A = this chain, B = another copy of it.
Amino acid sequence: MAEPRWLDEREMRAWSGFLAASALVNRRLDQQLKDDAGLSHPQYEILVRLAAAPGRELRMTELANGLINSKSGLTYQVTQMEKAGLVRRRSCPSDVRGVFAVLTDAGSAKLEEAAPGHVATVREVLVDVLTPAQLDALADGLGEVGRRLRGQGA
């Protein structure tokens, strides 16, 4: 691996743009959610996933997959959110080891409270900045990137 194919200028622009945008957008969203609703970004993601799930509940492992956090990180966050009353744990009837995270009414309310500001920020920092063509390129290109990494990682 002494002579790798370095990145040409086009590739470099795309790569550093992606890297910078990734860091900056994440930081901005974290800050906005914390200021606006007292939620961290991982916590918001958990609320969203639970709200979209059938019965408003998901197994811990399902929640950890495809999420930013590791398994232990999820355990921590769910514990915090349980203290805050946003979610509740329910043990799985068919598998004693299994644990469901269940969205509470308070959690649902918190999500509805936080969502508008969150969406507005997403528009402001990303969606409304891009042209429709760029949106499609992002969706197609980064969609494939994500798919490959999920495939490998699993």
Whether A90 is near chain B, meaning CB under 8 Å from some CB there, is no
- Copies of this chain per assembly: 2
Contact check, A5 vs B123: say whether CB atoms are below 8 A apart.
yes
Whether A117 is near chain B, meaning CB under 8 Å from some CB there, is yes
Whether A10 is near chain B, meaning CB under 8 Å from some CB there, is yes
Whole-angstrom CA separation of A123 from B145 in the bound complex? 11
In the assembled complex, which residues on chain B have CB atoms less than 8 Å from the CB atom of A22? 18, 22, 25-26
Query: Closest B-chain residue to A26, C-beta based?
Result: B22
Chain A 49-81 interface mask (CB, 8 Å, partner B; 1/0): 000000000000000001010000000000000
Whether A38 is near chain B, meaning CB under 8 Å from some CB there, is no
Please name 17 pairs of A and B residues whose Cβ atoms are closer than 8 Å in the assembled complex, sorted by A: A4-B115, A4-B120, A5-B119, A5-B123, A7-B119, A10-B139, A11-B127, A13-B139, A14-B127, A14-B139, A15-B122, A17-B143, A20-B142, A24-B153, A130-B145, A133-B137, A138-B138
